[in-house]
Structure 1
Amino acid sequence: MNIMVKFLNLLRQATALGIVVFGKIIKTLNIFIFYLSKSKCEKFKDCVLLAKLIERQPDNSDRYLEYPWMLENIDITQGRLLDVGSTASNMLYDLLPKTVEINSIDLNAKPIGNDRIKFSVGDIRKTEYPDNFFDMVTCISTLEHIGVSGRYGSDDDPTGDIKAMKEIKRILKSGGAALISVPYGIKDVLPINKLYNKGRINELLRDFSSVEIEYKKYSKKFNLWLTVDEAEAAKTDMIKDRWYAIAFIKAKK
């Protein structure tokens, strides 16, 4: 029995070592994939930083929270919806009534793979959509990259996110809502993400008639996301705390 226990312990240690080594290989591959494809960052040093941050990302990442929240808060059964950044376009088409027309916009061409989704290559800071055109806009984990130089092909524009929100308001119908998720915390991690705080959020949303915000923060101790108040979310340091907090925003025109 003792021999078997020792063998199993050795096997566990070898497996743990293998996982660590495999993780390092994946990190290195990510760096070169990001750099060669230019899909996420343009500069090599930025690709290194991004791969390092992704290595620290919680297993139950942002999307496990963002997409359910988004779907729970979509309250239209017909009309037009615009997905900014095209992160959820196919999901929205599959799960919403077919009386909702799904539109999608992104700086870069993407293989959406569904001809019924109206995809446009364009800049949400200045679009060709008419005023008061959409019943709802979704912008999931996208706003923080707008105007961050080299990120997903963006140029350098410190007020790019503010311009984007003004444009979203313009193309929303009166009474329409924008569903937005953004990283929240004490300082930006550039050139990867802007991190938002109360002042920045107020500036983004000051022209909307009503705003609802909830916050989630990752707990390293419990390995899960907890609902917190704004003050606790605002203390989050993406580097020290492993990840940023998330603000979930529903803003009505």
Structure 2
Amino acid sequence: MAEKFLVPVSLPSWLCNSARRVKRAFIPPASPTSRVNIWGERHVEWTFLSSQMPCGPGEAIEFGCEDGFMSLVAAQRGFHVLANDLLEQTFVWQHPNVEFRKGDFLKLTFPRNHFDLAINCSSVEHVGVAGRYGIEVNQDDGDLQVMHRLVEIVKPGGLLLMTAPCGQDAVLAPWCRVYGSQRLPKLLQCFKIERDEYWSKNRKNQWVQCSQETALNFQSQHDRLDPHKCTYALGCFALRKIRNSLTPEEPKNLSPGAS
């Protein structure tokens, strides 16, 4: 079988520039929409979560901490932070007020009504979708179970800061869920929305703020080989635990806070 090799060739600058002009003339650049993806989502998420985070002291937990960026922000704000992830993580920093605990969030033991602050940066949408982050078994309601667990361990009146993919309800297997008008109210049902923001990509592949209606009606695009080539909108939420939280069987309508 023949193999193809790409060999770099040095050309004079005048010839290289001429070749580029010829290429652009015969092979026009791809349209902006073909390049739209989710790259840069963490810029939107981290800035929202940081802007809504109060100052400590207090107890905080981050579910799905990954590299621990938001855990470090919380520690710098004066919280003692329990950073949890399903996979082993090696932080590039060390802080005396951050403790890492590896394991399945739904199987670990946490005290009830204990945490003043919970952080969930685009993590809940992966729970129960097998194929990524060490998740091996599909669970239709895994994400709802995580939210119910969070409401159990957060203090009455405590704060949950979270982000999640939004759009028309869908599962982009094996990557994540996308939350629309059907599932998002179920996800947030045990909390009061104090602030919400919604973002989507424009044709230049830039994140721009949009209305809730635009975000929840966004038609996501699925790429089975690369999660970063998928496309969806984003929802960012500051949620307060209500003292008499609803049970998971009693969904309520979305009541957005200031947007």
Q: Normalising by structure 1, what TM-score? A: 0.73
Query: Is 1:109 matched with 2:118?
Result: no
Q: Which has the larger radius of gyration?
A: 2
Counterpart residue number, 2:56: 77
Specify whether residues 4 and 100 from structure 1 end up closer, same or farther in structure 2 by C-alpha distance, changes over 3 A only.
closer
Counterpart residue number, 1:24: none
Deviations 1:220-252 (A, max 9, x none): 2x4321211122112222228961000111111
% identity of equivalent residues: 23
Query: Is 1:179 matched with 2:156?
Result: no
| Alpha-carbon contact 1:219-1:226 (below 8 Å) kept | yes
Specify whether residues 198 and 250 from structure 1 end up closer, same or farther in structure 2 by C-alpha distance, changes over 3 A only.
farther
| Alpha-carbon contact 1:237-1:244 (below 8 Å) kept | yes
Distance 1:210 1:105 in 2: 24
More off after superposition, 83-92 vs 196-205: 83-92
Quick one: which amino acid aligns to residue 248 of structure 1? C
Aligned-residue CA RMSD (Å):
2.9
Query: Is 1:188 matched with 2:171?
Result: yes
Counterpart residue number, 2:42: 63
| Alpha-carbon contact 2:66-2:85 (below 8 Å) kept | no
Specify whether residues 91 and 182 from structure 1 end up closer, same or farther in structure 2 by C-alpha distance, changes over 3 A only.
closer
> Where in structure 1 are there 5+ consecutive unaligned residues?
21-54
Specify whether residues 98 and 213 from structure 1 end up closer, same or farther in structure 2 by C-alpha distance, changes over 3 A only.
closer
| Alpha-carbon contact 1:124-1:168 (below 8 Å) kept | no
Distance 1:147 1:133 in 2: 26
Alignment of 1:1-253 (within 5 A): 7-11=16-20, 57-59=37-39, 61-87=40-66, 89-93=68-72, 96-97=75-76, 99-112=78-91, 114=94, 116=96, 117-154=98-135, 155-186=137-168, 187-220=170-203, 222-239=204-221, 243-253=231-241
Quick one: which amino acid aligns to residue 171 of structure 1? I
Specify whether residues 194 and 242 from structure 1 end up closer, same or farther in structure 2 by C-alpha distance, changes over 3 A only.
closer
Distance 1:73 1:88 in 2: 20
Q: CA deviation at 1:205?
A: 1.7
Specify whether residues 192 and 13 from structure 1 end up closer, same or farther in structure 2 by C-alpha distance, changes over 3 A only.
farther
Q: CA deviation at 1:197?
A: 0.8
- Which structure has the higher relative contact order (CA within 8 Å, separation 6+)? 2
Specify whether residues 182 and 81 from structure 1 end up closer, same or farther in structure 2 by C-alpha distance, changes over 3 A only.
same
Q: CA deviation at 1:128?
A: 0.7
Quick one: which amino acid aligns to residue 237 of structure 2? I
Distance 2:59 2:13 in 1: 63
Counterpart residue number, 1:33: none
Distance 1:93 1:242 in 2: 28
| Alpha-carbon contact 1:126-1:164 (below 8 Å) kept | no
Q: How many correspondences in the alignment?
A: 211
Distance 2:22 2:46 in 1: 37
| Alpha-carbon contact 1:205-1:211 (below 8 Å) kept | no
| Alpha-carbon contact 1:70-1:179 (below 8 Å) kept | yes
